[in-house]
Amino acid sequence: MTIIKDQQQIITSISKWIEDVIIGLNFCPFAKKEVIRDTVRYVVSEQLSIDKALDTVIDELSHLDTNTETQTTLIIFSNGFDDFDDYLNLVEGANHIIEGGGYRGLYQIATFHPEYYFEGEDINDAANFTNRSPYPILHLLREASLEQVLKTYPNPENIPENNIAKARQLGADYFKQRLNNY
Distance CA 94, CA 34 (A): 23
Sign, CA torsion 72/77/28/20: positive
3-class DSSP state for residue 114?
Answer: coil
Residue extents of the structural domains in the chain: 7-179
Is residue 103 within 8 A of residue 80, CB to CB? The reply is: no
Residue 148, pLDDT score: 79
Q: How far apart are CA 29 and CA 83, in angstroms?
A: 29
Cα-only R_g, the chain: 16
CA 51 to CA 121: how far, in whole Å? 30
Q: Read off the pTM.
A: 0.93
Given this model, what pLDDT does residue 48 score? 86
Give the H or E element holding residue 87.
Answer: helix 84-100
Look at residues 31, 23, 57 and name the one whose alpha carbon lies nearest to residue 43.
57
Walk along the chain (182 residues) and give the pLDDT tens digit of each residue. Answer: 344 568 999 999 999 999 999 999 999 988 999 999 999 999 999 988 999 999 999 999 999 999 999 999 999 999 889 999 999 999 999 999 999 999 999 999 999 999 999 999 899 999 999 999 999 999 999 998 887 777 777 788 889 999 999 999 999 999 999 999 89
Distance of CA 160 to the CA centre of its chain: 15
